[in-house]
A = this chain, B = another copy of it.
Amino acid sequence: MSKQTEKRDFPVGQTRRYLEPGPIVLVSSRWQGATNIMTLGWHTILEFSPSLVGLMISGGNHSFHMIRSSRECVINLPTTKLTDTVVGIGNTSGAEIDKFARFGLTAEKAHEVEAPMIGECHASFECRLHDDVLVDRYNFFIFEVVKAHVAASPKHPRTLHYTGDGVFMVSGEIISRRSLFKPEMLG
């Protein structure tokens, strides 16, 4: 399997840097001694400070009840070296298998939450439930990112972006238009 990635502390207010481009993420959880991982593509940044992220977690997922009960999770950012793992995690249920064991992933201890971080991912965002007002109606959880860990390099990881139907777009060219932005729009 892939090697673990050494990560550094990262400012939670800049979580958008990695999630706003829309990558597929792996959401890890822990509840009553068991851990689980799910593949998720339906998420959005909601606020810089507090650092809020919204996740739509379908009720059919084994992770749904674990995350709802523990009120915590870790959002992990996989890169293309984990493509087949991402698909495998999305194709299996934590009700039947231990996903860390099955996919050879390392459960690293997080700092602020009980849910484990995935050592092989490029970044991990530790999250606490901030607001569950839309969970009953839309399975939409609003989390606060309370601690962030990101690998120092590469600066622009090759992330996976799902289009449905088994097809992914891989992140491509990086272009800057910084010179065209008003100063107050940057940072």
Contacts and interface: CB of A to CB of B under 8 A. Distances in A.
Contacts of A187: 164-165
Contacts of A161: 20-22, 161, 171
Given A21-B169, A44-B56, A138-B142, 8 more contacts: A20-B41, A21-B162, A46-B140, A54-B54, A84-B180, A161-B161, A166-B185, A172-B173
A162 B180 CA distance: 14
B47 A54 contact: no
B172 A170 contact: yes
Interface string A25-46: 0000000000000000111111
A133 interface: yes
A175 B164 contact: no
B167 A175 contact: yes
Contacts of A56: 44-47
Contacts of A65: none
A95 B37 CA distance: 46
A111 B14 CA distance: 39
B140 A54 contact: yes
Nearest to A21: B161
21 contacts: A16-B163, A16-B164, A20-B42, A20-B161, A42-B45, A43-B44, A44-B56, A47-B56, A47-B138, A84-B177, A90-B185, A91-B180, A91-B182, A156-B169, A161-B171, A164-B187, A166-B179, A167-B175, A168-B174, A170-B173, A172-B173
7 closest pairs, A vs B, by CB?
A22-B22, A172-B172, A166-B178, A21-B161, A44-B44, A170-B173, A166-B181
A46 to B, nearest CB: 5
A140 B41 CA distance: 18
